[in-house]
Amino acid sequence: MGHLHRVGRASTVTPTVDRLGAGAIVGFARVLTGVRALWAGGPPTAGPRVYFANHASHGDFALVWACLPPDLRGRTRPVAGLDYWETTPLRRYVINHFFRAVLIDRNTETRTEDPITQMATALEGGDALIVFPEGTRNVSDERLQPFKSGIYWLARAAPDVEFVPVWIENLSRVMPKGRILPVPLLCTLTFGEPLKLHEGEEKEAFVARTRDALLALAPPEM
């Protein structure tokens, strides 16, 4: 695919426009959701990390992004699905230039690059990532869907990297799947304690441990 490199160069050509665009999105998200970040698991730190969050809305990664301190934001990249973001030129521009996303092909049949390798490469380059281990947006009444095993394979590929759980509360109510008009509600993002893959930890154990760590940050249900 090779467009990761293309993106890197393009961002330095029009950095002002991209920074303004990203700033506008962050500002809009802030006004709409009055978003509040609770760093329950220690203050934000720079360097390669993986923020993993619950996924209920297209705005999820923008909100995680908006909560990060500005200097960290520039080095934090969402991992997003190629099938959604490559469909129109505008989406493609926004996701590549404003967010510098790592775009992955979710279709195992046709893809030419391995998503785990793509993500690991970004981490090796010093970037942090935002991932949604549920794989797809949650439209059920369940708080959190089962995790896909991707988070384990990523941890295997980058065993020294910390995984930070991020519970996004309310954004699914602001902009539920299938709706375009967002409703202004207050959102809270809780950043939990970072965790790492233990030596010899099994896939099921790590997936369950990360999922429990995320769920533990969720406030009691109404």
Indicate the residue among 155 and 187 with the shorter CB distance to other proteins.
187
CA terminus-to-terminus distance, the chain: 45
**Residue 88 φ then ψ, to 5°:** -125, 155
| Bridge partners, residue 195, by sequence | 163
Q: Is 157 in the site for other proteins (CB under 8 A)?
A: no
Among 72, 71, 60, 70, CA closest to 35: 60
C-alpha 102: how far from its chain's center?
10
3-state secondary structure of 221: coil
HSE, side-chain direction, 13 A CA sphere, residue 210? 36
Which of 9-17, 90-98, 177-185, 202-210 is the region at the interface with other proteins (rule: CB under 8 A)?
177-185
Q: Is 179 in the site for other proteins (CB under 8 A)?
A: yes
* Least distance from other proteins to the Cβ atom of residue 170, Å: 6
* Least distance from other proteins to the Cβ atom of residue 169, Å: 9
* Structure tokens belonging to residue 30: 């802030």
Q: Is 139 in the site for other proteins (CB under 8 A)?
A: yes
Site for other proteins (CB under 8 A): how many residues?
15
Cα dihedral 33→39→45→49 (10° resolution): -80
Which of 77-85, 102-110, 118-126, 180-188 is the region at the interface with other proteins (rule: CB under 8 A)?
180-188
* Least distance from other proteins to the Cβ atom of residue 79, Å: 25
Which of 3-11, 15-23, 173-181, 204-212 is the region at the interface with other proteins (rule: CB under 8 A)?
173-181
Q: Is 183 in the site for other proteins (CB under 8 A)?
A: yes
- Cα three-residue angle 192-155-151, rounded to 5 degrees: 70
Residue count (the chain): 222
HSE, side-chain direction, 13 A CA sphere, residue 137? 18
Q: Is 184 in the site for other proteins (CB under 8 A)?
A: yes
Pick out residues in 31-70 that bind other proteins (CB under 8 A): 34, 36
Which of 58-66, 82-90, 160-168, 169-177 is the region at the interface with other proteins (rule: CB under 8 A)?
169-177
Indicate the residue among 2 and 220 with the shorter CB distance to other proteins.
220
Please give the DSSP secondary-structure letter assigned to residue 136. Answer: S
Residues in touch with other proteins (CB under 8 A): 34, 36, 139, 170, 172-173, 176, 179, 181, 183-186, 220, 222
